[in-house]
Structure 1
Amino acid sequence: MATNAKTRKAARYAVPVAVAGVAAATVAMVPAFANSGSPDLPGVTAQQLIEKIAASEVQQLSGSARISTDLGLPSLASGLLGGAGGAGGSANPEDRIAQLASGTHTVRVAADGPDRQKLTFVDGKNEYSVVHNGADVWGYDSKANEVWHEKNQDAGKPAEGPAGSPQQLAQDILKAAGPTTDVSVGDTAQVAGRDAYQLVLKPKQSGSTIASVKIAVDAKNGVPLRVQLLATEGGKPIVDAGFTKVDFAKPSADTFAFTAPKGAKVTEGADHAPGKGGKDGKEWKGLDSFPGLEGLTGGAGGKGETKVLGEGWATIARIDTGAGKSLKELENDKNAPKEAKQFLSSLGDKVSGKFGEGRLFKTRVVNALITDDGKVYVGAVTKDALVQAADANK
C-alpha cells in the first residue's frame, strides 16, 4: 500500500482509473444497491477472481454512486475530524473528501485514462466537483462560488482513486490481505444492473472490529462495483461503497473541461497545503490545538515513540506520548479549560487493568485506549484486545 508522497497527494483527488468509482455506504439500501437476485454465473476460485480484478483494463467509465459511512464517531470527535481538513477554504478537495467519513452522499463519477477524471458531489441544487484534467486539478463549490486549483505534478502517471473510491479501496484491501486473512468467493450479486461475483475477506484472528469485507466484482470486466465493510458488532455496514449506475463507454472530452466562473474566488492549493502553514498560517496539530490538552501529548515538541504490536487485522499501535500530565490530573484540574474536559467526556468509558487506569475512545472501527500514564493503544480492534495489549506492554 506504500506510495510516494506525490502519488498519495494526487490520489486524494483523482477518480480511480484502472478500477474506477466512488466509495459509498448506504444507511437505507436503495434498490440499485441491493442484490436483485443471485445471477447464475460460472464458478470461480478466489485466486481467479483476484486475478480478474488485477487484469482489468477498464480506464473509461461514467456513472453514479451513493456514499454513506457509519463509523459510530462521538459527536464532538466527528466535529473535530470534520475540521481537520486542509485550510484552503470550502473548495479544497481535502475538506470534501474528509466528509466521506460520515453521512450519506450522492456522487457522479467519470474517468478517461490516467489524466482525466471527475468526481461530483450532489447536494440538492448545489454541487461540488473535483476535476483532474492533465496538469490541472480543480475543486469547485457551486454554492459558495469558490474555486480551488493546483498543478498536478504527477500528470501522465497511473492514477489511484481517492479515499472514497470502492475500486481503490478494493485494491488497498487486497494489497493488505496476507496470511492473517481468509479469502473466499461468496454469493453472486447484481450491482447497478450488472452481474457480479463477490470476493469475501475475513480476519483469521480474533479481536478485530471488522467481521468481513465483501467486494462485488463485475463478472465481465473485473471492475469492483461495490465494497462493503461489515462490523463484528453487527448492524448496518460500516461502509457500503457501490455504483447505482455505470457505463463503460468513453466520456465526452468536455466532461473534464473546467474554467473558473466569473466572479468566483480562486485559491491556489499550493499556498494552503495542510501541514505546511500556508499563507494563512493554519495547520492541524491534533490534540495540541485543544486548550489544556498540550500536557497529554507532551506538546508540539513531544518525544513520543510508536511501537507496532501484533500483525494483520489485530495490529495495535502503542504510542508513548511523553505526556507531562495524566488524564486523572486533567480531569481533576479546576483550572482546566472546559474544551479539554468536554473532549475527555467524549472519550467514553473509564477502563482499568494491570496497566492501571485509562479512557476508551470508541468507534465501530478504530478504538483507542488512552492510559493515565500517557500511553495510547490504538487499532481496529476491540476494547478487550486493547486492554490485553496494555496489560502485556505496561
Structure 2
Amino acid sequence: MPAFADRDLEQRIQNAQRDIKSWAEGSDLWRDSGFTSYAERVQGEPGEEAVVFILYSDGHLARLLDEDLDPRSRAELDQICGAHGFWFENYDGCSYYFFATTEEMQAAYDEYFHWKWVCSLIVEDFGDVYAELYRYFQARPERLYNLHHREFEILLYRVFQSLGYESEVGPGIGDGGVDVRLLQRGPLGDTLTYVQAKRYAPHRPIRLDAVQALRGAVANDGAHHGIFVTTSRYLPGAADFARRSNGVLQLKTSDDVAEWCKQAQEGIIQDKSLLISDAHLLSVLRRVDHGEHALVTHAHTGYRTITNSFALVLKETKHAALLMRLPRRNLSQDSYGLEGHEAPVLDPQILGMKQMETVFRAKRSVSSDGCVSYWDGRNLYSTWNRQSCFFSYID
C-alpha cells in the first residue's frame, strides 16, 4: 500500500489551495485567478517530479509574482506554501507550478499522479497503443481495488482484447451478472465465456451465492465457461462449488489479473512503426490525394521562436490514434534560413521515415463543435489547413 493514502494527498492540496486563495482575496489579488491540475491543463503523462497543482492568474496576482513588485507579499505567500509543504516556480508568467518541498512527499505525489494518469487510459475504446496500463497493474495488483467498479470492468475488457479474445463489455447496469463476454474463435467452433467482476475489499470475500449466480447465467444462455474475477478472496463454499463444475467455472483474483496484464504487455508491440505496413501507409497517402485532408495534422510551438510539426493519421479509434511525423519542405526563407514558410512532404519518399522514432501514440479528442485533435503529451495536433506555415528560429 502507498505510504500516503490518496485521500490524504488530495486533502493536502485542498488545504494549501484554500489558504492561498484566502490570502490572495484578503490582499485583493485573486481576480482572474484560479487553480487547475497538470492533467487538466496539459493532459500529458506526469512523469517524475510531477506538478502537484497549478495556480493560474491573468490579474494582479500574476503581476506580483511575475515581476516581484511586492517582496513582502511574496514572502507571505512563500510562507503559506512552505507551511503546507509546497514551493512553486514561474512557468510562463501566468502559470505557476507547485511541487512538494520534501523528496518523500514529492515521491508520493509522483506515484499518485502516475496512478491518476493510468486511470485516464481506462476507456472502452481499444487500440494497440498503451502498454503503460498493463505494466502498472502487473506491478501493483493491490491498486485494482482503488479503481471504480466500472473502470475495473473496462480494464478486464481491454486486457482480454489484448490477449486475443473478441471482447464485449456490458452496460454496467442490468447486465444480468455478466460484465464482459469473451468469444474465442477456433476451427472446431467458437467458445463463449462470461466474466463476472467484483471489485471488493479484502474483508469482503465472495460468497457461494455469487458464484452460483454466474453458473446459472452460463447455463441459461448456453455459454461454455464462466470466469469470476475479484480483488478480494473466495469463501471455501464458493471455491468448492467451482471445483465441482468440471471446468465450467474459474475463480480468479488480483494476482491473476496481474499475470494477464503481464501477458498483455508482452503482446504489445513497442515499436509502433511495425504496426503499419508500407502498403497501408501508401493507401493513407492516396486517401489524402483523394481529398481526405483531415488525415494531415499540424502543431506549432513557440512565441518568438516558432516551429512546426506535421503528422499523418495512420490509425485511429474513438480515444486513441497512431500518428507518423512527416518531414518538412521549405517553400520560402530569408537569406539566413532563420525565417520562412514550410509545408509537409506528402509523397512516397516518406516510406523511409517510417521508424520507431517517428510513429507515436496520441490521445484523440473531439471538441463540442466537432473538431478533432490529437495530443501526444507535448504537441496538440489538429487538421492542417493546407496553407504554408510560418517558422522562425530567431529568439
After TM superposition, is the score higher than 0.5? no
**Structure of higher RCO (CA pairs closer than 8 Å, 6+ residues apart):** 1
Structure with bigger strand share is 1
Structure with bigger helix share is 2
TM range (shorter): under 0.3
* TM-score relative to the length of structure 1: 0.25
Larger Rg belongs to: 2
* TM-score relative to the length of structure 2: 0.25
